[in-house]
Amino acid sequence: MKIQRSSVGRYVVALLAAAVALGVGELLGPPLGNTSRYLTLCAAVVFSAWWCGLSPSVLTAVSGALGVWFLFLSPYKFFAAPSRDDAFALFGFLLVSGLIVALGEANRRGQFARLHQAHVIDAANDAIIELDPADDTIKYWNQGAEKLYGWTKAEAIGKDINLLLKTVSPQPLDQSKAVLMRQGNWEGELVQTRRDDAEIFVASRSTLQQETKWEPAIWLEINRDITERKKAEQELQKAEEQRRAARELAYSELEKQVRERTAELEQSNQQLRQRSTQLTRSQDEERRRVARELHDSAGQYLAAVSLALDAAKREQDSATIKLEEAAEMAKGCASEIRTISHLLHPPLLEELGLASAAQWYVDGFAARSGIQVKLEIPEGLDRLGNEVELVLFRILQECLTNIHRHSGSKTATVRIGSDSQQAWLEVQDQGKGSGYAPSQPFRPGIGITGMRERARDLSGILEISSDQSGTRVRAVLPLASKT
């Protein structure tokens, strides 16, 4: 209870309480004796300590003692030494009054502190609720709870909090309460319903003071509204999901475009490879035709010229020397044309196979270039198929031509072999290598690109390795299965 009292009024009430106590004590004197005055004064001191405060209660005790001394003792005794009984009675009264005043002040201060604490708790923005641990009913409901949930204190106290607020927890409520009972505290987020049926998110903290011999168990719950924060988090999460979906869609679209572009490039590359294959085959056919025409037309003409020169030489002795020179030149021209024809398309390749054609070409190359070439071919090498033999022969031509033009090597080694699944050609020189520094990228020329295209057309591979000791070229082509 909080009562506004003026300072003067409290002292006046204290003096009146002492006067009334003295009067009542006088009335009770005959039946109770002189001690009745101190008894009524003690009651007055109790009243002043409770109603008026510290200083007025002291005034009640002092004025009461003086009143007993002056009013109820003989004047001559006032200046004389008091009797032992009177002294003990006065001392006892003052001692009891001091205790009463001290207890009253302590009680008043405690009451004030409790009122102040209750006022602070009641004015807090957070919802502060005291619950009964036995049945979860509400025992205290502050103004913050009224503002948050919309239920007044009178409406909330005595109700089951979980039923009133329709509490929803990530874990069962019984488990949360079990943790509280075991550990003395619990924290978490709850979804609760206001009086207007609006759902809110709250951050809840519960503290339990266990029951003792002197005090009952106290369950205090503090709830803070975090609805706006949760909505912001949900919006942020939703926006993040939307951004992720947009990125995934963009990546998917980009990947689709890359796949389409890759397919287009692959198709273009396939078309280029097909055209390259067609061009290579056309070149081979053209070489075969040119070789045949050189042999069939120019070769025949040169043969006829040679015969005519021989006839003229027999008929005209004076021109024998000139005719002999012309015959030799015609024979040399016919030999050169035959060599060029064989290089364009060696007939041995179709008639006898790769082994014979390679041996013929290596011998001719060594004679023309001065480079010693060692040819290693296993005896009884089977026919490998026209396309495989033609591609390996063309790669052999390109490799030996590059050795002659670029490597500076005086020797070379050629190895040809096969098994049931594949055939291979390996050409090794001891020249200066590719001539590129390790940090420079290797850029293949037209000849090397052509070799690789030929090998790739037959699903084969072409490997080139070059270092200071020379260059090695290895081609491997699969063989068609034999049924």
pTM, two decimal places: 0.37
CA distance linking residue 415 with residue 276, whole number of Å:
27
Nearest-CA neighbor of 427 among 453, 403, 458?
403
Residue with tokens 């987020």: 189
Q: What is the three-class DSSP state of 469?
A: coil
Residues in the chain: 483
The whole-number pLDDT of residue 82 equals 58
For 160, which DSSP code? B
Phi and psi torsions of 460, nearest 5°: -105, -175
Identity at 191, one-letter amino acid code: V
CA distance linking residue 80 with residue 126, whole number of Å:
68
The whole-number pLDDT of residue 27 equals 75
Identity at 134, one-letter amino acid code: A
The whole-number pLDDT of residue 158 equals 92
Contact 324/311 with Cβ under 8 angstroms?
no
CA distance linking residue 89 with residue 91, whole number of Å:
6
Phi and psi torsions of 380, nearest 5°: 70, 30
Q: What is the three-class DSSP state of 315?
A: helix
The whole-number pLDDT of residue 194 equals 92
CA distance linking residue 143 with residue 149, whole number of Å:
10
The tens-digit pLDDT sequence of the chain (483 residues) is 333 455 788 888 888 888 888 877 777 766 555 556 777 888 888 888 877 878 888 888 888 877 777 666 555 444 555 567 667 777 777 788 888 888 877 776 766 665 555 555 655 678 888 898 888 999 989 888 899 899 998 999 999 999 999 999 888 888 888 888 888 899 999 999 999 999 999 999 998 887 776 667 788 899 999 989 888 888 888 888 888 888 888 888 888 888 888 888 888 777 776 666 666 666 666 566 566 655 555 566 666 666 666 666 666 555 666 666 666 666 666 666 666 655 566 666 777 788 888 888 888 888 888 889 999 998 888 888 888 888 888 898 888 888 888 888 889 999 998 888 999 899 999 876 554 333 334 444 567 777 888 788 888 889 998 888 889 999 999 987 654
The whole-number pLDDT of residue 314 equals 66
The whole-number pLDDT of residue 478 equals 92
* 360-389 core/surface letters (b: 16 or more CB in 10 A; e: else): bbbeebbeebebebebebeeebeebbeebb
